[in-house]
Structure 1
């Protein structure tokens, strides 16, 4: 049991150390030696925990989405708020973490989607699974908001959730290009309109 715990801890340390590096440089731009040095793990031990760099990337995304979805569940269940308020809080948190220049806080789905989807089928599928789970949670919250009367939508909830997630992915990419919050402010406006919320 102790050996298993040590194995799990070391594996997690490698993953944790990689987030900031991959967030800053991308997946291809970070070497294994750099990740292992950051984690304080001997260079020869990487393949004891991951079969390949691609398998490591797949594990990194799975670990990232597990944490992301747990945070999303907390946000969408915050007590004392309507579902509309919880949803808007989620997108405001998105803006707060995706804006600015702190790459360590950036969403790996935004950072890696274009880079790895054509290079690694397992990583593409990990991205697909993770983003689908996000959209499903948003859809459930939208449906609940419609039921309680805090928001209205013209399309069915899943389509609305999917469209809004796409809007925010695009806004994140454009914000990287223009280096301002203007794409996020536009996304907030689009989100409020899609949810039938007032402009103030």
Structure 2
């Protein structure tokens, strides 16, 4: 393995293990010493790739959003029925992956939505991380809007709202439901969100 490949592998390893730790504990509760321990790297290696813990957090968010956007595109495959049904299937999948509040140590980072995990926690803590989350959620809403446009075309979505307005509404409904589910842990928030989504889409 050449040096560049080794550096890339080390950086990716820190990001992946750190992302899992953040999903388990949150960003503020994860101290740098613990991050170094779970990643099994010395402090010097960490600072070789990241200027600070906050810089590390911004990159975690950015890469998570990029990967999640790819997951969203894969889930909303135009070969799987109407666009409205694809979206409802996507939200049903959201319920299955976001219910409860336990992430196992070997779970993939995608097991829990980091936007849900971090939004309230870091909004007033870090301007840079808040902006990274804002850019990321704006990108995801744009992806949803583009998909909704396809639903207008195939006739499965007939909302009076624009695709952007509908995408924002749906995203806000599910983000709010996910936050409430963390408190209730009984599935009712997701049930309400799914019923509302059906009305908005159909």
Task: Indicate the TM-score class for this superposition, using the shorter chain for normalisation.
Answer: over 0.9
Structure 1 position 78, deviation (Å): 4.8
Question: In the alignment, which residue of structure 1 is the partner of 2:156?
Answer: 150
CA contact (8 A) 2:80 2:86 kept: no
Question: In the alignment, which residue of structure 2 is the partner of 1:168?
Answer: 174
Unpaired segments of 5 or more residues in structure 2?
none
Residues 2-46 of structure 1: CA distance to partner in whole angstroms, max 9, x if unpaired? Answer: 211111111110110012211121100001221222122223321
Residues 78-124 of structure 1: CA distance to partner in whole angstroms, max 9, x if unpaired? Answer: 52321112111211121111102333621110010111111111111
Question: In the alignment, which residue of structure 1 is the partner of 2:53?
Answer: 53
Structure 1 position 181, deviation (Å): 0.6
Residues 31-77 of structure 1: CA distance to partner in whole angstroms, max 9, x if unpaired? Answer: 12212221222233210110001100001101111110110011122
**Cα RMSD between the aligned structures?**
1.4
Unpaired segments of 5 or more residues in structure 1?
none
Question: In the alignment, which residue of structure 1 is the partner of 2:193?
Answer: 187
Q: Number of paired residues?
A: 196
CA contact (8 A) 2:178 2:190 kept: yes
Matched, 1:138 2:150: no
Map residues 82-161 of structure 1 onto 2, 5 A cutoff.
Answer: 82-103=82-103, 105-161=111-167
Q: TM-score, normalised by structure 2?
A: 0.92
Residues 130-169 of structure 1: CA distance to partner in whole angstroms, max 9, x if unpaired? Answer: 1111111111111111110112112111101101100101
CA contact (8 A) 2:61 2:114 kept: yes
CA contact (8 A) 1:154 1:194 kept: no
Higher relative contact order (CA 8 A, sep 6+): 2
- What is the SS of the residue equivalent to 1:119? coil
Q: Distance in 2 between matches of 1:78 and 1:18?
A: 34
Q: Distance in 2 between matches of 1:191 and 1:40?
A: 44
CA contact (8 A) 2:97 2:112 kept: yes
Question: In the alignment, which residue of structure 2 is the partner of 1:9?
Answer: 9
- What is the SS of the residue equivalent to 2:124? coil
CA contact (8 A) 1:145 1:151 kept: yes
CA contact (8 A) 1:23 1:108 kept: yes
Q: TM-score, normalised by structure 1?
A: 0.93
Regions of 4+ moved over 6 Å: none
